[in-house]
């Protein structure tokens, strides 16, 4: 039996890709293990969004080189966004990396290749069962697509429709870090991005937009829910560009189709684009509150029209605030979160204050804030990085400090309320961790049996990042007996 381990960096699209591949490999008989040390096949799924993310991954790749000393048969692969554009360098710099496969390459070729890798690992493990230290170290496989085309691989090629990936054979995979965790499902509803925001490398690493059909997505959600998933995450770089390849149905129609599925589960999605989001998305969310979570992640990036234009984000602060207005009107309890970049080339104090002003106006429940990182190939790259590092750092710190205060005020509003939470896992502190529909963490005491169920918690204390509460139903059975939803 072949043991596999994935180290996944980056966004939810990467998580969804890793999950798809893990399922594919499990269907081939592989076992997912909890550490790279136990694995025969290690896959590193990489993120290129900022230089820091890449560096972290490079460090990890360096560290795992030692694992091939005692266990030379181990295969190491690098996949994802960095693999898309730095494959030659990865091969050159890390002689222990056996294969590199980018996020925009033909997944069918990769499946064939992996089938071959697994067959070969199984054979090696049988032959050398008593002396794995004697296995010769395999070399580097170069261009995987060419290899698959040129060589007769040991495994049979499986044919998928384009974009279908391995989902049709996917079993819900419990990639749990602890003994027991709620099942969440990550489903790519589209890949790629056509926006070319001037700072962003994603269109280069993931290619052009491609949507999957509603029929296929709905089937997949239904199957995963039947198999125990309680939270379904629909992933796309710009979900509002979603268009069913069969009949052109829109993202809100996709949301509606998913929301109409039977079963007790929550649906979240990332990310909409402020330029493209339409009011019907918000109306649909408001129409199906039991399924579609009370949370909108609406990336702002900058609160200055000048910077938004330089970023090639074709919306204004006014338009952004109009969208926020729709959410506040139709979903008054919704949480709103965002992404913000500070220190984009040309950002002056006034521009930065514009971002701060939007933060005050929106009152976000959480922000993901980043220092601008110049990325090769992007149009902003040629602008250099003129904002001094200490200014960027200072802007980031000040913004994060203020956001903490806002989070506290937002969370305090929930004190005394009863929240429906999905119980995720037991934490090291001994408390259960749940999340509200608005994606706010809730700590409370309760039985393990509650993990993976929805329950009601009375909130008695709010902090910056967590709520503390009291369980209203003591067991999973009590819980089932009371399915009433409090929002
Ligand atoms: N530098 C800093 N942050 C970036 N992001 C994307 N590209 C960059 C970059 N070059 C941020 C954006 C995006 C989030 C996923 O990452 O805020 O929404
Ligand atoms: Fe990058 Fe912009 Fe596409 Fe988001 S919308 S992935 S920031 S290019």
Structure tokens at 210: 């491609």
Class of domain 3-150: alpha beta
pLDDT at 156 over 50: no
Ligand 2 center from residue 191 Cα (angstroms): 11
Cα-to-centroid distance, 385 and ligand 1 (Å): 14
Class level of CATH domain 181-293: alpha beta
Is 50 exceeded by the pLDDT of residue 162? no
> What pLDDT sits at residue 158?
40
**pLDDT over 70 percentage in the chain:** 91
**Nearest protein Cα to ligand 2, atom 2:** 197
For residue 439, is it left (φ>0), alpha (ψ between -120 and 50) or beta?
left
Question: What pLDDT is recorded for position 136?
Answer: 84
Please determine, for residue 94, whether its predicted confidence score (pLDDT) is greater than 70.
yes
Q: Please state, in angstroms and as integers, the Cα–Cα distance from residue 371 to each residue in 67, 205, 382, following that order.
A: 34, 20, 17
pLDDT digits (tens, 9 = 90+) for 196-226: 999 999 999 999 999 999 999 999 999 999 9
pLDDT band at 484 (very low <50, low <70, confident <90, very high): very low
Residue 167's pLDDT band, with cuts at 50, 70 and 90, is very low
pLDDT at position 185 is 93
Number of neighbouring beta carbons within 10 Å of residue 250: 18
* Chain segment 248-294, per-residue pLDDT in tens: 999 999 999 999 999 999 999 999 999 999 999 999 999 999 999 99
CATH fold, domain 418-481, is OB fold (Dihydrolipoamide Acetyltransferase, E2P) (2.40.50)
What percent of the chain clears pLDDT 90, i.e. is strictly above it? 82
Instruction: pLDDT band for 153, please (50, 70, 90 cuts).
Output: low
pLDDT of residue 148: 87
Q: Is it the case that residue 478 has pLDDT exceeding 90?
A: no
* pLDDT beyond 80 at 360: yes
**What would the mean pLDDT of 82-103 be, rounded to a whole number?**
95
Q: 485: pLDDT confidence band, cut at 50, 70 and 90? A: very low
Topology agreement, domain 181-293 and domain 295-413:
yes
Asked if residue 410 has pLDDT above 60, the reply is: yes
Rounded distance between C-alpha atoms, residue 396 and residue 482, angstroms: 45
- In tens, the pLDDT along 39-55 reads 999 999 999 999 999 99
More confident residue, 132 or 40: 40
Separation of CA 371 and ligand 1 centre (Å): 8
* Ligand 1 binding pocket includes 204 (Cβ within 6 Å): no
Query: Residue 480: its pLDDT value, please?
Result: 56
Residue 166, pLDDT > 50, answer no
Pocket test for ligand 2, best of 206, 237, 298, 309 (most atoms within 8 A of CB): 237
Q: According to the model, what pLDDT value does residue 152 have? A: 57
Ligand (nearest to CA of 191):
2
Domain 295-413: state its class: alpha beta
Helices assigned H by DSSP within 234-372: 251-259, 279-287, 305-310, 317-330, 349-362
Q: Mean pLDDT over all residues of the chain?
A: 91
Pocket mutation for ligand 1, best pick of 13, 50, 311 (most atoms within 8 Å of C-beta) = 50
Per-residue pLDDT, averaged over 352-378, amounts to 97
**Which numbered atom of ligand 1 lies nearest the CA of 11?**
15
The domain limits of the chain are 3-150, 181-293, 295-413, 418-481
* pLDDT at residue 165 is higher than 80: no
Residue 170's pLDDT band (boundaries 50, 70, 90)?
Answer: very low
Instruction: Note the pTM of the prediction, 2 decimals.
Output: 0.90
pLDDT at 178 over 50: no
Lowest-pLDDT range of 77-81, 96-100, 106-110: 106-110
CA of 301 to the centre of ligand 1 (A): 8
Residues 230, 219: contact at Cβ < 8 Å? no
| 423 token code pair | 């119980």
Best probe residue, ligand 2, of 11, 238, 242 (max atoms within 8 Å of C-beta): 238
Q: Report the distance separating Cα 440 and Cα 454, nearest Å.
A: 14
Among the residue ranges 27-31, 177-181, 212-216, the one predicted with the least confidence is: 177-181
Residues with Cβ within 8 Å of 59's Cβ and at least 6 positions away in sequence, in order, are: none
d(CA 393, CA 15): 29
Q: So what's the pLDDT on residue 481?
A: 54
For residue 174, pLDDT over 80 is answered with no
């Amino acid at each position: 039996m072949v043991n596999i381990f994935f180290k996944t960096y980056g966004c939810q699209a990467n998580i969804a890709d890793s999950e798809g591949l893990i399922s594919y490999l499990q269907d081939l008989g592989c076992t997912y293990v909890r550490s790279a040390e136990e694995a025969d096949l290690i896959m590193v799924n990489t993120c290129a969004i900022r230089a820091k993310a890449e560096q972290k991954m490079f460090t990890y790749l360096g560290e795992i080189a030692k694992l091939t000393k005692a266990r030379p048969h181990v295969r190491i692969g690098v996949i994802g966004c960095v693999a898309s554009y730095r494959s030659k360098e990865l091969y050159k710099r890390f002689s222990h990396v056996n294969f590199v496969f980018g996020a925009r390459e033909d997944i069918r070729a990769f499946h064939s290749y992996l089938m071959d890798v697994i067959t070969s690992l199984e054979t090696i493990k049988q032959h050398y069962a008593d002396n794995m230290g004697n296995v010769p170290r395999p070399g580097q496989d170069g261009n995987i697509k060419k290899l698959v085309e040129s060589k007769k691989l040991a495994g049979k090629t499986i044919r998928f429709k384009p974009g279908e990936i391995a989902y049709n054979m996917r079993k819900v995979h419990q990639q749990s870090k602890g003994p027991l965790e709620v099942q969440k499902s990550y489903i790519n509803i589209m890949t790629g991005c056509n926006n070319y925001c001037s700072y962003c490398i994603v269109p280069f690493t993931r290619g052009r937009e491609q949507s999957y059909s509603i029929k296929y997505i709905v089937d997949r959600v239904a199957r995963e829910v039947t198999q125990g998933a309680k939270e379904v995450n629909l992933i796309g770089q710009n979900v509002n560009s979603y268009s069913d390849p069969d009949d052109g149905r829109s993202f809100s129609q996709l949301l509606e189709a998913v929301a109409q599925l039977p079963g007790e589960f929550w649906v979240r999605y990332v990310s909409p684009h402020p330029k493209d989001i339409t009011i019907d998305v918000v109306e649909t969310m408001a129409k199906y509150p039991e399924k579609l979570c009370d949370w909108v992640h609406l990336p702002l990036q900058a609160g200055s029209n000048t910077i938004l234009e330089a970023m090639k984000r074709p919306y204004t602060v006014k338009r952004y605030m109009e969208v926020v207005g729709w959410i506040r009107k139709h979903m008054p309890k919704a949480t709103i979160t965002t992404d913000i970049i500070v220190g984009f080339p040309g950002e002056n104090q006034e521009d930065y204050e514009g971002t701060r002003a939007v933060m005050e106006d929106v009152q976000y429940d959480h922000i993901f804030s980043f220092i601008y990182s110049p990325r090769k190939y992007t149009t902003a790259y040629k602008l250099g990085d003129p904002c001094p590092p200490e200014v960027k750092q200072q802007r980031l710190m000040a913004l994060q400090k203020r956001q903490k205060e806002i989070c506290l005020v937002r969370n305090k509003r929930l004190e005394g309320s009863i929240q429906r939470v999905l119980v995720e896992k037991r934490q090291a502190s001994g408390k259960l961790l749940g999340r509200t529909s608005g994606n706010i963490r809730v700590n409370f005491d309760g039985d393990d049996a509650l993990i993976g169920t929805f329950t009601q918690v009375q909130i008695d204390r709010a902090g910056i990042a967590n709520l503390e509460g009291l369980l209203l139903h003591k067991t999973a059975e009590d819980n089932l007996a009371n399915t009433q939803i409090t929002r």
